[in-house]
Structure 1
Amino acid sequence: MTTSTARGTEPGRLTGWHGDPAYFRFLEHDHLDLDPVIDVLRRRVLGVVYRGVIDAGAAAELVRRFWESPARKRRGGEVCESLGYYVGAYHYHKPTATYLAESAGIAGYLRKLLDVPGEPVTMFRTMLRERLAAEGVTFRPAAQDGAGACPVLMRHWNAGGAFALQPHEDASQCREPQQAGFEVQRTLEYTVCAVNMCLENSDNGRLVMWNVVPDDDSKSRLGLYYSGSPYPPEVLDGIESIWLDVRPGDIYVFNGEHVHAVEASPPGAKRTTMAWNMGFCSDETVVSWT
Structure 2
Amino acid sequence: MVTAQVPQAPAISPVATKERTGSISAGEIISVLKGEITVLHIKQAFSPEIAEEITTNFNRNPGLKQRKDGVPGQYVGASHYRRNAAAYFAEAESARPFVEALFANLVDPVRALFDALKRELHKQGVELRPARSERGQANICRAICWSGTGTYSLEPHDDVAQILCAGKDCELPAVANNTVAALNFYPSMPNEGGNLRIWSHKPTASDRKSQGVETTGYPYSAAYLEALPYHDVQLEAGDIAVIDGGFVHGVTRQSGNGKPRLLLNCFLGFARPDLVLWWT
Q: Same fold (TM over 0.5)?
A: yes
In structure 2, what is the equivalent of residue 100 of structure 1?
A: 89
* Aligned: 1:157 with 2:146: yes
* Aligned: 1:63 with 2:51: no
In structure 1, what is the equivalent of residue 110 of structure 2?
A: 121
Displacement after TM superposition at 1:17 (Å): 6.5
The verdict on how the C-alpha distance between 1:206 and 1:103 changes in structure 2, with shifts beyond 3 A counting, is same
| Counterpart code for 1:285 | L
| Counterpart code for 2:182 | A
Q: 1-side partners of 2:159 and 2:83: how far apart? A: 15
SS in 2 for 1:166: strand
In the alignment, is the contact (CA less than 8 A) between 1:59 and 1:119 conserved in 2? no
Task: Kindly report structure 1 stretches of 4+ aligned residues shifted beyond 3 Å.
Answer: 11-14, 76-80
In structure 1, what is the equivalent of residue 270 of structure 2?
A: 280
SS in 1 for 2:220: coil
* Aligned: 1:74 with 2:69: no
Q: Residues 225-277 of structure 1, C-alpha deviation per residue, up to 9 Å, x if partnerless?
A: 11000000111122121011011100110100100011101274521110001
Question: Which residues of 2 match residues 77-226 of structure 1 at below 5 A?
Answer: 77-80=69-72, 84-145=73-134, 147-176=136-165, 179-204=167-192, 205-226=194-215
Pairing partner for 1:47 from 21, 34, 39: 39
In structure 2, what is the equivalent of residue 243 of structure 1?
A: 232
* Aligned: 1:264 with 2:253: yes
In the alignment, is the contact (CA less than 8 A) between 2:12 and 2:228 conserved in 1? no
SS in 1 for 2:183: strand
In structure 2, what is the equivalent of residue 15 of structure 1?
A: 10
Q: 2-side partners of 1:160 and 1:13: how far apart? A: 30
Q: 2-side partners of 1:242 and 1:12: how far apart? A: 25
In the alignment, is the contact (CA less than 8 A) between 1:14 and 1:236 conserved in 2? no
In the alignment, is the contact (CA less than 8 A) between 2:74 and 2:147 conserved in 1? no
| Counterpart code for 2:45 | V
Q: 2-side partners of 1:237 and 1:90: how far apart? A: 29
In the alignment, is the contact (CA less than 8 A) between 1:153 and 1:276 conserved in 2? yes
Give me the TM-score of the superposition, normalised by structure 1. 0.88
| Corresponding residue pairs, total | 273
| Counterpart code for 1:32 | I
Q: 1-side partners of 2:90 and 2:117: how far apart? A: 26
Q: 1-side partners of 2:214 and 2:147: how far apart? A: 26
In the alignment, is the contact (CA less than 8 A) between 2:41 and 2:233 conserved in 1? no
Q: 2-side partners of 1:244 and 1:286: how far apart? A: 26
In the alignment, is the contact (CA less than 8 A) between 1:212 and 1:259 conserved in 2? yes
Q: 2-side partners of 1:210 and 1:276: how far apart? A: 20
Give me the TM-score of the superposition, normalised by structure 2. 0.91
